[in-house]
Amino acid sequence: MELARERAIPKIGRMTVESPTAEIDGELLATIRTAAQIQRDLLAFEKGLKALKMSIADQVRKYLDDEGTVTIAVDGMTVHVRVGFDYAIPNESIPALRQKLGDEYYHFVRERVSVVPAQELIALACDGDKGLEIRRHMTIRPLPPEVTIIGEGAAR
Q: What is the pLDDT of residues 111-122, one digit of tens each?
A: 876 688 999 999
Q: What are the helix (H) ranges across the chain?
A: 26-60, 94-101, 105-108, 119-125, 132-135
Q: Give CA torsion, residues 23, 25, 26, 32, to 10 deg.
A: -90
Verdict on whether the full-model pTM lies above 0.85: no
Residue 89 near residue 82, CB atoms below 8 Å = no
Q: How big is the chain by its Cα radius of gyration, in Å?
A: 27
Burial 66-88 (b: 16+ CB within 10 A, else e): eeeebeeeeeebebebbbeeebe
Q: Give the 3-state secondary structure of residue 112.
A: coil
For 18-72, how does the pLDDT look when each residue is reduced to its tens digit (9 = 90+)? 655 556 677 878 887 888 888 889 889 999 999 999 999 999 988 888 788 999 9
Mean pLDDT across the chain: 81
5 confidence band (pLDDT: 50, 70, 90) = very low
